[in-house]
């Protein structure tokens, strides 16, 4: 009865753990034998390999935000869509190289915005490649229904602003 209260569904992980432990009555002799001596328990993570079903989308969105952060440091515009489709000039590539130098040249320490080893390495990209990657990611996120062209991809900028605040 307590089990039903604590674990109402059959697939509850806690239910499985409690069932693995067994009935308290059947463990009574072991508990009495232990008395006041120390009891050693070994924990094994049953949920260790459970993956977040949204992990790929979250990773794609994180990579996109990272690219956009760098893009808006090089070019400006009325909205993100305008910036993304704006032509790239030689001075944009030069400014991009200066941004990379500023962010990544301190003794090999590559701690840029949204740093993560699983993300694309922006330090090896041209500004053109950076914008292309961002646009490809944005198109994929739009196809997934995560962001909308209707608001000129303002959702991406709002997410970056939210990350900065938190």
* The token pair that represents 98 in the structure block: 């200066």
| DSSP secondary structure code for residue 122 in this structure | G
Helix (H) / strand (E) containing 4: helix 2-6
pTM over 0.85: no
Residue 100, classed as helix, strand or coil, is: helix
Task: Kindly state the tokens that stand for 42.
Answer: 């070994």
pLDDT tens digit sequence for 12-36: 777 777 777 777 666 666 667 666 6
The predicted pLDDT at position 146 comes to: 94
Q: What is the mean pLDDT of the chain?
A: 83
**Alpha-carbon span 123 to 100, nearest angstrom:** 6
Q: What is the pLDDT of residues 87-130, one digit of tens each?
A: 999 999 999 999 999 988 765 555 556 665 467 888 999 999 99
Neighbours of 107 (CB within 10 A): 4
């Amino acid at each position: 009865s307590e089990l039903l209260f604590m674990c109402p569904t059959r697939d509850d992980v806690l239910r499985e753990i409690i069932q693995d432990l067994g009935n308290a009555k059947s463990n009574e002799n072991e508990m009495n034998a232990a008395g006041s001596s120390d009891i050693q328990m070994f924990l094994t993570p049953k949920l260790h390999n459970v993956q977040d079903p949204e992990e790929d989308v979250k990773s794609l969105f994180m990579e996109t935000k990272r690219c956009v952060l760098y893009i808006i440091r090089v070019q400006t515009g009325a909205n993100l869509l305008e910036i993304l489709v704006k032509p790239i000039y030689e001075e944009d590539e030069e400014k991009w190289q200066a941004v990379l130098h500023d962010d990544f040249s301190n003794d090999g320490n590559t701690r840029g915005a949204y740093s993560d080893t699983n993300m694309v390495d922006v330090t090896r990209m041209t500004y053109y490649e950076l914008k292309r990657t961002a646009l490809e990611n944005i198109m994929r996120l739009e196809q997934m229904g995560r962001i909308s062209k209707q608001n000129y991809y303002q959702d991406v900028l709002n997410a970056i602003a939210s990350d900065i605040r938190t």
